Amino acid sequence: MADKKRTLTGDRPTGRLHIGHYFGSLQNRVKMQEDDSLERFVMIADVQALTDNFNNPQKVRDNVYQVLLDYLSVGIDPEKTTIFLQSMIPELAELIVYYSNLVTIARLERNPTVKTEIAQKKELFGESVTYGFIGYPVSQASDITAFEGELVPVGEDQLPLIEQCREIVRKFNSIYGETLKEPKAVLSSNKRIKGLDGNDKMGKSLGNAIYLSDSEEEITKKVMGALTDPGRIKKDDLGNPDICMVAYYHNLFTKPEDVKKICEECRAGARGCVACKRELAKNIIEELRPIKEKRKYYEERPELLEKILKEGTEKARKIAKETMKKVKEAMKLNYFE
């Protein structure tokens, strides 16, 4: 096991996972399970979720198991991937305290990802951003280094966070000696999936997402409300699939030869939007059917969910304890050993 490289990924339990996650990080994690050179860790980041949900802890708690169900339903195997809870590993919080001395407030404020997310949270914070929120890159550095994560699969928008982690590691090692491993970002090959409304971001707050756990009725209703070519008023008007979200989603859920036919008929005014949407809804439902069936299996076995989370967290904590021992030795904080 020692020669295996560790990977760390995770999600904040602020809601169920949607098809954007499915085509991005979730499929990547399932593929990584076949790589025997890797030791894989997936974290349910409930502490980070509290940075902008501090006033609604029940929401975070409820979604821990929803996210776990989503993981299991898409094929993340607890026998191959360690799934654990962030809040149950106190070493992560202790590392944050030590790392916070190695990064300035000004550096955190310059982080592009942090700046973007602060702007998005204006309604929550106003002009007073909390210490916890602005410092979450330090928390991420703690998560990654506690498990000696060498490879961190991320999207491009997360690269500034990984670079901040690398800076913290270099600063720590320069002061206390070579102790921590410097992680490397592994860019996802999958592009971010747009929302049903054409927004570049898909999310619960935007109301433009299809969730892995959505019922057939919910999927159909959402697809029927998807954005189409705004210039197409009547069924026989010539359409432009290049600016139609229904055509966009057909490229994800429909066979290529059928997509070609759909686009040709749209451009010729021979296919109506309602029929096009109904076909898309049917295809999405079929794609997600095995996922929903597997989810149902685990939903009916809550004791198994608790066992998976407990065993994964116990394994993760052992590793975090080993890392903390090295950190304290390096910092001359190992008084009673």
pLDDT in 10s for each residue of the chain, 337 residues: 457 899 999 999 998 999 988 888 888 889 899 999 999 999 999 999 998 898 999 999 999 999 999 999 999 999 999 999 999 999 999 999 999 999 998 998 888 888 888 777 777 777 788 888 888 899 999 999 999 989 888 878 788 889 999 999 999 999 999 999 999 988 876 677 899 998 888 877 778 899 999 999 999 999 999 988 888 888 788 888 999 999 999 999 999 999 999 999 889 988 888 999 999 999 999 999 999 999 999 999 999 999 999 999 999 999 999 999 999 999 999 998 6
Supply the pLDDT for residue 1.
Answer: 46
b/e sequence 120-132, b meaning 16+ C-beta within 10 Å: eeeeeeeeebeeb
Supply the pLDDT for residue 98.
Answer: 97
Supply the pLDDT for residue 60.
Answer: 95
**Which residue intervals of 100-192 are DSSP H helices?**
105-110, 112-120, 122-125, 131-134, 136-146, 159-176
Burial of 181 (0-12, 13-18, 19+ CB in 10 A): middle
User: Are the beta carbons of 92 and 320 closer than 8 angstroms?
Assistant: yes
User: Are the beta carbons of 17 and 211 closer than 8 angstroms?
Assistant: yes
Task: Kindly list the structural domains of the chain, giving each domain's residue range(s) and its CATH number in brackets, ordered by start.
Answer: 5-193+302-330 (3.40.50.620), 214-296 (1.10.240.10)
Contacts of 143 (CB under 8 A, 6+ apart): 8, 10, 43, 45, 86, 92, 149
CA–CA distance, 12 with 69 (Å, rounded to integer): 14
Measuring CA to CA, which residue among 30, 39, 32, 37 is closest to residue 6?
Answer: 39
Helix (H, G, I), strand (E, B) or coil at 187: strand
